[in-house]
Amino acid sequence: MRRRRWPLLTVLAFGYAFLYVPILLLIIYSFNESRLVTVWTGFSTKWYVELFRNQQLLDAAWLSVRIAAVNATLAVVLGTLAANALVRHRHFRGRTGFELLLTAPLVMPDVIIGLSLLLLFVAMQHTIGWPDGRGFTTITIAHVTFSMAYVAVVVRARLSQMDRSLEEAAMDLGARPLRVYLTITLPLIAPALLSGWLLAFTLSLDDLVIASFVAGPGSTTLPMVIYSSVRMGVSPQINALATIIVAVVTLAVVIAGISMRRGPEAR
């Protein structure tokens, strides 16, 4: 049995190394004193200081975080409503079309989504005068368009597995449907909501293609700034920024994991 496990363990180790060794090297070289990102000359944190002095990167990061937070919140609300409609109401007119429209962003190329939304925003601006230019609002709407589909998948899976006997018992005791949903259903699906929020936040923060179509002057997101700077050569400041992002994402994943583990224990 041990001999049979060696090839599997070797492939597994190679796969993890292929994924995580570049990230580890990026983190290490963010503390490099040299401006060259591939030549180690000594330990230094000066690039973190330079990063926090780079107003363009800070403004782009703050804009991306605000867009991602608003997008994640709206995507959770809309995605949860869509998941409830599909799980709790299995037969209604237009269900097939609704499900098709909901899942289409999952498989549609980002270029198509970005171009179609750009044409939509331009047509709306000429017709009704809104939105007034492209920026925070248009990027947020574009991100919600595809993020809610991912949230709906996560929440739908949780609702499908949930035991509805608790809801039925509460309604038998006289609780109204809204109170049942707020006090029983929401706590049970809270891990899925948190996972969906984090997923939507990450998708928005990471998006480059769609944002490039629907963004306007003065609304450059962090991926757009990083992409434009990398084309001119990788800066150690990008390594420092990536290290901070990895740390924040790791913390968020740990919190989500703890929350999802407490969910079954609470039940």
Question: CATH no. for residue 193?
Answer: 1.10.3720.10
Q: What is the pTM of this model?
A: 0.87
The total domain count for the chain is: 1
In a domain, 94, yes or no: yes
pLDDT digits (tens, 9 = 90+) for 202-242: 999 999 999 999 998 888 999 999 898 887 777 888 889 98
Residue 207: the pLDDT is 95
CA angle 266, 70, 237 (to 5 degrees): 100
In a domain, 73, yes or no: yes
Q: Is the peptide bond before 131 cis (omega within 30 degrees of 0)?
A: yes
Residue 20: the pLDDT is 92
In a domain, 89, yes or no: yes
- Which residue range is the domain that position 261 belongs to? 53-266
Question: In which band, very low, low, confident or very high, does the pLDDT at 164 lie, cut at 50, 70 and 90?
Answer: confident
In a domain, 124, yes or no: yes
In a domain, 14, yes or no: no
In a domain, 191, yes or no: yes
Segment 144-162 shows an average pLDDT of 94
In a domain, 249, yes or no: yes
In a domain, 24, yes or no: no
